Chain A
C-alpha cells in the first residue's frame, strides 16, 4: 500500500540524512540508484529568482551520482531538448526504455546521450502544479523499462525530492508529505487565491501557506480550508496572514 511505500522510502532517506549533511535531492538520487534498476541518477533544481516565474528551465543546482548523469543533466540544458524538458511540457514523467530508438524525437540529445553511455532514460518533473522546481533524471546503461513496482517507487522518490526542494526553499522541514498527494484539492485552490491576495507567484503563495501552517501549528489542509472559505486572508507582510 501507498503508506508502506512512503514510509519505507522515507525511512531510508532519513537514515541517509542522519549520516550526512547532503541535500535531500542528492540523497534521493543516491536512493534511486540503490532501489531501482538504474545506473545513475541526476537532478537539476531550477534556480529561483524572486518574481521570475515565467522563466523556463533555468540552470540551477545540479546533482548527479556519477559523471554520466552529470553529463546528461548538462546535455539537456545545452541542446535544450530531451526527456526532462518534455516532462515539463507534458506534466508527467517521460519514460524511454530504448533511447537509441528515439533519435527522431530528440535529434541532438539522443546521439550525444547514447555516446555518454545512456541506453534508457526516465525523467520525472519535480513540480507542484505551475510551480516548477526541477527534474529527477534516471538512466540505465542497458535498455529496458522500469518494472511496475520500480515505477511506483520512482514516483514516491520524485515526491520526496519535490518535498526536499520546497523544504530547502522555506526552511520548514515538516515531516509531512501528505500535502503533495493529498486528494483534498483545496491546498492548490488556496495557493491560487493567496497569490492574488499577495500579488505574488504561485510559488510564493505556496511557501506562505506552509509558513503560516508551520508557525501557527495549524495543519496545512486546515489553513487551506480557511482560505477557501474566505475566513483567512493573507496580506503582503513579512509573516503570517
Chain B
C-alpha cells in the first residue's frame, strides 16, 4: 500500500507542477491597431437611407439581388428592389432603420428614428480570428482588414459563435458552403480604390480613411455645436470633396473606439447605440480572456507533458502484473 501512496504522490506532484507553471504565464496583452490600418466612419446623422452603398457593395462583390415575389406582384414591378432585410450570406452590408414612438424626427431618441449601417467591424482584436482553428480568418498586418480564405475553412462556424456582432454568415442552403463577410473590398483597395459602399455614398455618411484619422474626425464631430452648418468630407477623408450639412447633434459616443478592444469600422449616431441593435461591449475582447486561459493551461505544452509523464509512470507501475501475465500464460502453453 505504501508504494501506491508514493505513486499517487507522484501524480499529485505532477499536478501541482501543472498548477505552478500556470502561475508563471502572463495574461495575453491587447492587440494594437496597425499604424496604417484603414477603416470606415459611418455617421448615421448624415445617412439618408438611400441604400446606394448596398447596391455598390453587391456590384463590387458579385452578390445576387434578393427579390420579394409577393411584394413585386403586389406592386406590379420586377427586380427593382433588393428586398433582403438583414445581413446574411447574400448581404455583406445593410442599412437598417430603427424607429421609436411616432418616429417623427430623424436622429432623435424620443419619437424619432435613425438609420444604421451594419457590416463587419474589422475588430482590432478579432474574436473570429482567435476562434478559427485553421487560420481561415486572418488580419492583414498593414491594413488590418479581416479577410477570409475558403481554402483553409472547414465550415465549423465557431467564428459565428465567437463574433460579438454576429457578422460572419454561412451558406446553409448550399452543398458546398462558405463563410461570407465584408472584407472591406480588399480586392478594390489592392487596385488603389476605396470600398464600394464609401464610393457610392452620396452624403458622406460612409467615409473611408486611415483609422487613426477617422478616430480624430469622429471626436471632432462629437464636439460640433448642434444646429450649425459644417463641411463634411465625401467618400474618403482626404478626398477634398465636401458637402455642407447641419449638425443634428450626436449621442456622445464614438462606437468602436474602445468596444471589444477597438474596431476599424466606427459609428456615430444621434441616438444611443443600444437602440440601434449594437451590443454594449467592454474594452477587452473575449479573445483576450479565452487565449489567456488557454495559453495558461497549455503554454509550450509544459503542463500536459509533465502530467503525461506522471500518468504514464503510474500506469506502468500498476500494469506490471498485466504485462507479465501473458508471458507466464504463453510459457505454460509452450
Genuine A/B complex: no
**Which residues of A approach B to under 8 Å, CB–CB?**
none
